[in-house]
């Protein structure tokens, strides 16, 4: 069984505080987008990788093509939309047009650039049970439901998990979910939330806590320590 993967890299990432989009930031001489795309291309279940990018991505994409080693095929990137959901829709349309033989798609946030090939393989195996799956990890902090600065209650954290990517879906199921969300004017924070609205079963598999999302400058420094340990961070150079 083979799947295509959409690598979402169209967001700005304002909280990172960089002058360029988050997916364009380099770690160890390689963009965040490239770290994610190259790792997923090595997954045995992935046959096609399709980047979904914002404006100004030409240099990053050229570098990715020059470094590409597969074995998955790198498809030409498509422009994302104004929202994550629109970017998924644009990417899925392009994937179906270019690789119509595929029945499965994975959706991954490029900002989770510590992803490994086995993350894709694990979630796709899980998705076979129902047509949709996502990796999750346990919530370790105490949760509080708060309104107007006041605690309403303390929910049992055992019932909650943190959702990661890549998430895996039958293509027809995700397409139906995207179309229904558009009709309803619903904007989800991930693809699983769209599929859940259809009443479809979304199963989970064990994720890796290390598969974190690049969001803050502190995240970037930690990722540089892991992906480019021999290169001093800017903070240490300035010190």
Q: What is the pLDDT of residue 77?
A: 98
| pLDDT tens, residue by residue, 73-99 | 999 999 999 999 999 999 999 999 999
In the predicted model, what is the mean pLDDT of the chain?
93
pTM of the model: 0.92
pLDDT at 239: 28
For residues 185-201, average pLDDT: 97
The three-state secondary structure class of 111 is coil
Task: Indicate the domain borders of the chain.
Answer: 3-238
Residue 238, pLDDT > 50, answer: no
Q: Which distant-in-sequence residues (6+ apart) come within 8 Å of 91 by Cβ? A: 6, 8, 50, 52, 78, 80, 107
Task: Give the model confidence (pLDDT) of 88-147 as tens digits.
Answer: 999 999 999 999 999 999 999 999 999 999 999 999 999 999 999 999 999 999 999 999
pLDDT beyond 50 at 216: yes
Residue 231: pLDDT above 70?
no
CATH class label, 3-238: alpha beta
Distance separating the N- and C-terminal Cα atoms of the chain: 51
Q: Which residues contact 24 (CB under 8 A, 6 or more apart)?
A: 31, 32, 33, 56, 57, 59, 60
CB atoms within 10 A of CB 156: 8
20-73: per-residue pLDDT in tens? Answer: 889 999 998 999 999 999 999 999 999 999 999 999 999 999 999 999 999 999
């Amino acid at each position: 069984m083979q799947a295509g993967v959409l690598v979402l890299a169209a967001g700005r990432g304002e909280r990172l505080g960089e002058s360029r989009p988050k997916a364009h930031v380099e770690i160890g001489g390689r963009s965040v987008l490239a770290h994610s795309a190259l790792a997923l291309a090595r997954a045995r279940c992935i046959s096609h990788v399709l980047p979904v990018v914002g404006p100004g991505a030409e240099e990053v994409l050229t570098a990715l093509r020059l470094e590409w080693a597969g074995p998955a095929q790198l498809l030409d990137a498509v422009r994302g939309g104004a929202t994550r959901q629109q970017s998924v829709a644009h990417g899925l349309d392009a994937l179906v047009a270019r690789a119509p033989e595929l029945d499965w798609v994975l959706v991954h946030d490029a900002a989770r650039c510590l992803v490994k090939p086995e993350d894709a393989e694990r979630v796709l195996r899980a998705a076979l049970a129902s047509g949709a799956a996502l990796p999750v990890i346990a919530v370790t902090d105490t949760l509080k439901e708060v309104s107007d600065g006041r605690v309403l209650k303390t929910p049992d954290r055992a019932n909650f998990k943190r959702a990661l990517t890549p998430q895996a879906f039958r293509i027809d199921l995700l397409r139906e979910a995207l179309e229904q969300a558009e009709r309803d004017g619903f904007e989800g924070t991930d693809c699983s939330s769209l599929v859940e609205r259809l009443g479809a079963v979304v199963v989970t598999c064990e994720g890796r806590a290390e598969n974190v999302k690049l969001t803050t400058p502190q995240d970037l420094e930690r990722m540089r320590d892991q992906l480019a340990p021999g290169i001093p961070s800017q903070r240490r150079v300035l010190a």
